[in-house]
Amino acid sequence: MTARNTALPADTRSDRVSPPTRRVIRILELLGAHPDRSWTLAEVARELGLVPSTALAILNELRHSALVVRDESDKSYTPGPALLALGKAADARFPALRALAHQLEPLSRSLGYGCSIHMRDHDELVMAHRFGPSERFVEAVIGVRYPFAPPFGLLITAWASDEDRAAWQARTPRAARHLDLPELLAHTRRRGFGVEGIGLLTPSAILSMIADLDGDVATQPGRVSERFTEPGPDPTGSDPTGSEPAAGGLEDIQYGYGAIAEDQSYVVGLIGAPVFDSSARTRFIVFLHLGGEALTGALINTIGAELAARTAEATRRLHGVFPSGYPGT
């Protein structure tokens, strides 16, 4: 399940942003998020809420640079060949990401779950790659950013230093203060993987956390823009397209599971595991996206252990070092 026409954070930076540049990026993201279809000018303008003349001007410039191409038979637009060069450059810049995705694809395919890879960028986390069944995702396109603050970043903080862990917990927004973070961290360290309900990484959850951390999002032009994914409801049941960030009721969502009883059933949104670097710090977070599937604790532990085994092997192949006490090392 995914959310369409949903406001998601373009970034959570404090530096200046450029709305005209964001409009260009949003058009490229829209075309890139749906590689199996083409878009007419009217569809692009409607989907992104742009004035048709503005959308046309941007598309004309992108055509001139071969970043998009137009089919003259139906006047529709698709990604252009110039994007291949950018993709190859990015691919060459992140060989570890490519190798990790290649290693995880068989597991994603065999389980029928989507998979995403996330990285830390200072005080934010970013989805760097995703693959697998699109209906399993409730998030936006690759590149979506969200705060490195509870409940986000558990799989980084679980093996961080006491100082870093304290700094992370100090950023806890109001909507996550009901969580028993020490318990979640302890169970994550013991298992070697994390288990989340359906609240984490949904558009309403991200907006709520940013609103808590930075004040009312609606009063900060440029801090939030629309990202688009495939049709479907936000599984939190909220309407994040309204004038205010959706925060009501988020305290009741099960963001993370601590103890898991094998004979009980749990609604699971994500199962995640870390890949470590040469300093024994989390380099990548890998999530399997279950889309709110109900599983027994025994099956959750089986899937989590298999994912952790794959990420542990990735750590070894990428010459990483496991932190002290990491399960199975």
- Whose tokens are 């954070």? That residue is 9
pLDDT exceeds 60 at position 77: yes
The amino acid that residue 196 corresponds to is: E
Give 218's DSSP letter.
G
- Please provide the distance, in angstroms rounded to a whole number, between the alpha carbons at the two ends of the chain: 36
DSSP strand pairing (282-296 vs 68-71): unpaired
> What is the C-alpha to C-alpha distance for residues 119 and 138, in angstroms, rounded to an integer?
18
> What is the C-alpha to C-alpha distance for residues 173 and 236, in angstroms, rounded to an integer?
18
> What is the C-alpha to C-alpha distance for residues 291 and 113, in angstroms, rounded to an integer?
8
Using DSSP, state whether 40 is helix, strand or coil: strand
Q: Give me the pLDDT at residue 16, please.
A: 61
Contact 218, 245 (CB under 8 A): yes
CB burial of 210-233 (b: ≥16 within 10 Å; e: otherwise) equals bbbbbeebeeeeebbbbbbbeeee
Reported as a pLDDT band with limits 50, 70 and 90, residue 137 is low
| Residue 122 or 202, more confident | 122
Reported as a pLDDT band with limits 50, 70 and 90, residue 315 is very high
> What is the C-alpha to C-alpha distance for residues 129 and 27, in angstroms, rounded to an integer?
19
| Phi and psi at residue 326, to the nearest 5° | -65, 135
Among 85-89, 179-183, 275-279, the range of highest mean pLDDT = 275-279
Weakest-pLDDT range from 53-57, 135-139, 199-203, 310-314? 135-139
Whole-number percent of the chain with pLDDT over 90:
51
Find how far residue 150's CA is from the centre of its chain.
15
Q: Give me the pLDDT at residue 138, please.
A: 58
Using DSSP, state whether 270 is helix, strand or coil: strand
Q: Where are the alpha helices (DSSP H) in 123-267?
A: 154-157, 162-170, 181-191, 203-214
> What is the C-alpha to C-alpha distance for residues 216 and 211, in angstroms, rounded to an integer?
5
| Phi and psi at residue 145, to the nearest 5° | -110, 150
> What is the C-alpha to C-alpha distance for residues 198 and 236, in angstroms, rounded to an integer?
7
> What is the C-alpha to C-alpha distance for residues 290 and 196, in angstroms, rounded to an integer?
10
Between the alpha carbon of residue 291 and those of residues 1, 85, 135, 309, the distances in Å are 6, 33, 8, 22
Give 224's strand partners.
Answer: 9
pLDDT in tens, 176-207: 888 899 999 999 999 999 999 876 777 667 77
Give 256's DSSP letter.
B
Q: Where are the alpha helices (DSSP H) in 125-246?
A: 154-157, 162-170, 181-191, 203-214
Contact 145, 8 (CB under 8 A): no
> What is the C-alpha to C-alpha distance for residues 211 and 219, in angstroms, rounded to an integer?
10
pLDDT exceeds 90 at position 17: no
> What is the C-alpha to C-alpha distance for residues 215 and 221, in angstroms, rounded to an integer?
12
What is the enclosing helix (H) or strand (E) of 21?
A: helix 19-33
> What is the C-alpha to C-alpha distance for residues 317 and 15, in angstroms, rounded to an integer?
37
Whole-number percent of the chain with pLDDT over 70:
79
- Whose tokens are 């032009």? That residue is 221
> Which are the contacts of 50, defined by CB distance < 8 A and separation ≥ 6?
23, 44
